[in-house]
């Protein structure tokens, strides 16, 4: 059976070009970057060149880029640092954050008695900026605002500059989970009012198990993981050498082809949305599909019937990969916390389709035909 992979917001296949640059560091260039002899110096140079490449693409200083194991570690580091190093005693977040953020802030709220507020959401899933201003203005303690740049389930995009400027006005620390947007959108971090952002290589055809944390040069924090002096004393543990090299190469490729891929992928997304509307009665879309929205994600609401309740299962049987929300909870029966937060309609089944440069219109046609048949 030919499988159709429409779950690229969960992970993407590794580019051959990325694998090619990683392979030498898995074999003959295997030195520990902390070693002082030639093997180690070779590895150290590869890491620092990767850091410079990533920093240049994001318009940051190389000293602001730290390599981690991925988005979850990066978010945890930033959120904990804001509380333990930067004097924040009030966290403002939203109910539709990724669990890497949501569970972190809830943990700090329970364990350390940190005040936790959730900003209201508009009916289309966007953050209510007036309520955010109100929360910041009335807070007696210094705030950490942690709001994701693009929602991984419904695709809504946050205005980073608007939120960042609001945080600046009230002397708040701003962390944005940018896992869905690093590698998909251009960044200009020198001119973006944000203290922390993060990225994960596997979201843009890079390797799994490697990510970045951007820490603004004006912010001073202590390590989240204790141990050796790697990553300039900020992230202990022997570096994921080939992962770091792969991350940088994947980001270079994504940046070079950004405009072309964005136009192509968004074309697929909107083509599928229009076909679904034409072919399946009662279909709706979650999030701000026709507004400020991630070009890779289409979250579809299907009318709830006996057949549609088994939709993901039936798609899987037919070789079609999609998810019922976040990939990290796609095996759970609890459903999507994001959809629950923005929709009170119990008669809709939400399915997320997410696309990459490797998908085709022919695949969209096949999936829509199969959906019509199943439903």
- The number of beta carbons lying within 10 Å of the beta carbon of residue 165 is 12
- The catalytically annotated residue of 88, 143, 167, 328 is 328
Residue 227 has which token pair? 């141990």
Find the DSSP H helices in the chain: 16-26, 38-58, 71-84, 99-112, 129-138, 160-169, 230-233, 241-256, 258-279, 311-317, 337-342, 361-374
Euclidean distance between CA atoms 56 and 28, whole angstroms? 28
Beta-bridge partners for 302: 349
Cα 110–113–114 angle (5° rounding)? 105
Enter the DSSP assignment of 157. Answer: B
Among 186, 192, 203, 219, residue whose Cα is nearest residue 71: 203
Among 276, 268, 284, 300, residue whose Cα is nearest residue 155: 300
Assess whether 328 carries a catalytic annotation: yes
Among 168, 240, 154, residue whose Cα is nearest residue 202: 240
First-to-final CA distance of the chain: 21
Catalytic center residues: 328
């Amino acid at each position: 059976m030919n499988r159709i992979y429409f779950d690229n917001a969960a992970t993407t296949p590794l580019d051959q070009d990325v694998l090619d640059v990683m392979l030498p560091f898995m074999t003959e260039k295997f030195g520990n970057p902390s070693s002082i002899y030639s093997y180690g110096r070779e590895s150290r140079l590869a890491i620092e060149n990767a850091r410079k490449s990533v920093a240049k693409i994001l318009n940051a200083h190389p000293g602001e880029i730290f390599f981690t194991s991925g988005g979850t570690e990066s978010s945890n580091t930033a959120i904990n640092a804001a509380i333990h190093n930067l004097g924040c005693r009030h966290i403002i977040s939203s109910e539709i954050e990724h669990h890497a953020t949501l569970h972190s802030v809830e943990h700090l709220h329970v364990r350390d008695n940190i005040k936790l507020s959730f900003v209201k959401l508009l009916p289309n899933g966007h953050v209510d900026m007036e309520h955010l201003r109100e929360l910041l203005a009335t807070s007696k303690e210094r705030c950490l605002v942690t709001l994701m740049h693009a929602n991984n389930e419904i695709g809504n995009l946050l205005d980073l500059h608007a939120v960042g400027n609001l945080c600046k006005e009230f002397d708040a620390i701003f962390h944005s989970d940018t896992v869905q947007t690093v590698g998909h959108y251009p960044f200009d971090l020198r001119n973006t009012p944000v203290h922390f952002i993060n990225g994960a290589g596997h979201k843009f055809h890079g390797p799994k198990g490697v990510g970045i944390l951007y820490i603004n040069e004006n912010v001073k924090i202590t390590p989240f993981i204790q141990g050796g002096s790697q990553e300039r004393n900020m992230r202990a543990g022997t570096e994921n050498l080939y992962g770091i090299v792969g991350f940088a190469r994947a980001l270079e490729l994504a940046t070079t082809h950004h405009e072309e891929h964005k136009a192509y992928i968004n074309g697929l997304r909107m083509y599928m949305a229009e076909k679904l509307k034409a072919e399946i009665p009662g279909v709706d879309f979650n999030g701000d599909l026709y507004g400020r929205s991630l070009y890779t994600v289409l979250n579809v609401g299907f009318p709830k019937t006996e057949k549609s309740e088994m939709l993901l299962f039936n798609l899987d049987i037919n070789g079609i990969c999609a998810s019922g929300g976040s990939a990290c909870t796609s095996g759970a029966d609890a459903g999507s916390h994001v959809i629950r937060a923005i929709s009170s309609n119990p008669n809709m089944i939400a399915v997320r389709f997410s696309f990459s440069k490797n998908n085709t219109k022919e695949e969209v046609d096949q999936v829509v035909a199969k959906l019509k048949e199943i439903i």
